[in-house]
């Protein structure tokens, strides 16, 4: 079995994200080799109930990210409410910089930090959502050779976010003298199995 060619997976979602994560996370088996960082738009006064709820559906440990926390493979890190989550040199970082696309946590901020820190060893996944947040971050990740995956909009509770990401990727590919890695548009139920197979793991 070859080593997984990737070292980090980042997921961005907004409206409908809770239901989407209930489908995606159970398909990541115990022993999944990548750390997973999630930016889910939510109210700034939210408590940790989202983290507790998602743990019921995930074989991997799920926790809210803490500033300066070391990134560990096989763990799921959720951006805390009202903080941007960034990946920096093997550690997590939290920021109270201004909202991006009216959101904090911002998907763009998380994905751009993943592009900087992991380049071609990062996987970026855009799920359902009602804004354009994440499109530019996914482009940044893809431009570094990372793998871009977008939920097929017809399978999204809110197709605005995946449609915006797809439009941005398609527009970028039409520019002259640009060489970007390929991207995938997949139904929600197929995203996690596709990534698991990339990492040469058997579903169990």
Residue 28 belongs to domain with CATH number: 3.40.50.180
Answer yes or no: is 3 within a domain.
no
In sequence order, the 6+-apart residues with CB closer than 8 A to the CB of 55 are: 61, 62
Active site residue 48: no
Give the number of domains in the chain. Answer: 1
Answer yes or no: is 1 within a domain.
no
Answer yes or no: is 202 within a domain.
no
Answer yes or no: is 91 within a domain.
yes
Say which of 41, 108, 132, 140 is annotated catalytic.
Answer: 41
> In terms of residue numbers, what domain contains 50?
8-196
User: Which pLDDT score, from 0 to 100, does residue 85 have?
Assistant: 98
Instruction: Flag the least confident range among 32-46, 72-86, 109-123, 178-192.
Output: 178-192
Say which of 84, 106, 113, 133 is annotated catalytic.
Answer: 133
Answer yes or no: is 203 within a domain.
no
Say which of 14, 106, 113, 131 is annotated catalytic.
Answer: 14
Instruction: Flag the least confident range among 50-59, 167-176, 177-186.
Output: 177-186
Q: Which two tokens stand for residue 145?
A: 């050779």
Answer yes or no: is 2 within a domain.
no
Answer yes or no: is 177 within a domain.
yes
User: Which pLDDT score, from 0 to 100, does residue 101 have?
Assistant: 87
Active site residue 102: no
Active site residue 43: no
Cβ–Cβ under 8 Å, residues 129 and 12? yes
In sequence order, the 6+-apart residues with CB closer than 8 A to the CB of 165 are: 126, 134, 135, 138, 148, 150
Structure pTM?
A: 0.93
């Amino acid at each position: 079995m070859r080593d997984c060619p990737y070292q980090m997976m980042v997921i961005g979602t907004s409206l409908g994200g809770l239901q989407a994560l209930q489908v995606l996370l159970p398909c990541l088996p115990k022993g999944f080799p990548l750390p997973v960082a999630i930016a889910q738009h939510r109210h700034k006064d939210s408590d940790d109930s989202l983290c507790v709820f998602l743990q019921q559906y995930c074989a991997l440990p799920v926790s809210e990210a803490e500033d300066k926390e070391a990134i560990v493979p096989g763990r799921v890190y959720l951006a805390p409410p009202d903080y941007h989550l960034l990946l920096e040199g093997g550690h997590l970082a939290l920021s109270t910089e201004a909202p991006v696309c009216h959101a904090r946590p911002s998907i763009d901020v998380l994905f751009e930090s993943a592009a900087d820190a992991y380049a071609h060893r990062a996987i970026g996944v855009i799920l359902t959502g009602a804004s354009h947040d994440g499109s530019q971050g996914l482009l940044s990740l893809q431009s570094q050779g990372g793998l871009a995956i977008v939920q097929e909009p017809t399978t999204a509770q809110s197709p605005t976010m995946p449609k915006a990401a797809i439009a941005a990727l398609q527009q970028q590919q039409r520019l002259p003298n640009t060489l970007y890695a390929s991207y995938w548009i997949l139904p929600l139920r197929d995203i996690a199995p596709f990534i698991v197979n990339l990492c040469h793991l058997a579903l169990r």
